[in-house]
Amino acid sequence: MKPDTTFTQINGGITAPIGFRAAAVSCGIKVDALDLALIVSDNPASAAAMFTTNKTVAAPVVVCREHLKNSGGIARAIAVNSGCANACTGEPGLTNAQMMSQVLASEIHCPTEQTLVASTGVIGLPLEVSKIESGIITAAKNLDRHSNQEAAKAIMTTDPWPKETAVQVNTPAGSFTIGGMVKGSGMIEPMMATMLAFLTTDALIDSLQLRRALSSVTDETFNSISVDGECSTNDSVFLLANGSSGISVSDAIYPFFVDGLRQVCSKLAKDIVRGGEGATKLVSIRVTGANTGHDARRAARAIANSLLVKTALHGADPNWGRFIAVAGRAGVTFEPSRALVRIGSVVLYENETAWPEREAEASQHMNGDEVDVVIDLGTMGDEEATVWTCDLSAEYIRINADYRT
């Protein structure tokens, strides 16, 4: 058995790993705001990605899938713009995404298939590719290891703050670093990470191992969050590994790598929920006592996405009946006679018995900015799952009603 992985939280975000640089510019897609970021590895890097499961797929996703296939899982750089999703834009949108990639390749002197592109913003608008091209040319001249925060700002849409993190992973073979940044505030639901996430590491690992690690960690983190139950068209998670630390991810080191990647992705995933549109609290929904892991995840997601649950959470109303009702209609094995609902440390309902006198204490817990809820399905099974969500406030309605007008 390997010893517990030790982590050192460090600054630097996406450029904390050795051999990565970034840049951010305002190219005019948004008004007076950073709206274009580049992430560049000094050397060719192993690359892996996860993409949206939405059948309405944006042009950048199509281009990235093709490039990763053609390059054999090797990438040098990523260009990402905010303000325009380049989704539902037909052949012109695909041409613009390809041109975006070609300009990036020309500026950093690499094969086009070793570049990746991403876009986020309003669906259906044409991408002003001349502005993007000019922005890439300018940004490529200003790449450095100190623009990580600006890059995190440039990918934001309705995000209330930039989200980034990095850790140094300490192993028996030495240390390597994993960094990342993410954008996401609305249209967040676990059908593959519903947001854009960019991850880098200076560990040496091949693309097949990289994809295996990313898939596993994505299920536990980005696929376990929900703000509003909506799956977008551009959702992508990218991971580049350039090996600059000199630490090779052998079979013995692989568990350390996965632990470090989980540490980074978990922080970023929870930050998405904290910064959800109109959110005032981060809520952990843990379902226990399920017969299968699938049942546990399905019930947890159903509860996390319930509008009645989310409004009760916002009002600090310990209405345990809403949790029981959703568990009962989630389409999983459920034994209400043995079910349990706990908010914080307070059991409100168990074995068909309710304790209304405890609701004031539960409400006090719900008034905090982090809320823990446990629902036991009562099946006597030992499977469980956790989904992180947020409350639903009037501010969410205002943001989305005014998003384009």
Output the domain CATH number for residue 91. 3.60.70.12
Give the tokens for residue 197.
């996430």
Instruction: Give all strands (DSSP E) within 202-343, no chain letters.
Output: 225-226, 236-241, 282-290, 340-343
Flag whether 1 is in a domain. no
Model pLDDT for residues 138-178, shown as the tens digit of each residue: 999 999 999 999 999 999 987 888 999 999 999 999 999 99
Cα-Cα-Cα-Cα dihedral sign, residues 101, 106, 112, 114 = negative
The burial of 101, by beta-carbon neighbours within 10 Å (0-12 exposed, 13-18 middle, 19 or more buried), is given as: buried
Domain boundary pick from 274, 303, 319: 274
Contact status, residue 91 vs residue 61, Cβ threshold 8 Å:
no
Using alpha carbons, list the distances in angstroms from residue 333 to 255, 288, 336. 33, 12, 10
- Which residues are identified as catalytic? 194
Instruction: Answer yes or no: is pLDDT of 236 > 80.
Output: yes
Percent of the chain with pLDDT over 90: 75
Model pLDDT for residues 71-98, shown as the tens digit of each residue: 999 999 999 999 998 988 899 999 999 9
Domain boundary pick from 228, 250, 274: 274
Instruction: Answer yes or no: is pLDDT of 231 > 80.
Output: no
Rounded to the nearest integer, the mean pLDDT of the chain is: 90
Number of domains in the chain: 2
Q: Give residue 404's pLDDT.
A: 60
Clarify whether residues 380 and 288 are in a common domain.
Answer: yes
Clarify whether residues 31 and 134 are in a common domain.
Answer: yes
Q: Give residue 188's pLDDT.
A: 44
Instruction: Answer yes or no: is pLDDT of 403 > 70.
Output: no
Domain boundary pick from 244, 274, 304: 274
Q: For residue 398, how far is the Cα from the chain centroid?
A: 24
Clarify whether residues 248 and 392 are in a common domain.
Answer: no
Look up the domain containing 241 and give its range. 6-274
Clarify whether residues 287 and 269 are in a common domain.
Answer: no
Rounded Cα distance between 278 and 187, Å, is: 13
Cα-Cα-Cα-Cα dihedral sign, residues 279, 281, 282, 283 = negative
Range from 154-158, 223-227, 234-238, 394-398 carrying the lowest mean pLDDT: 394-398
Residue that wins the pLDDT comparison between 220 and 177: 177
Q: What is the amino acid identity at position 249? A: V
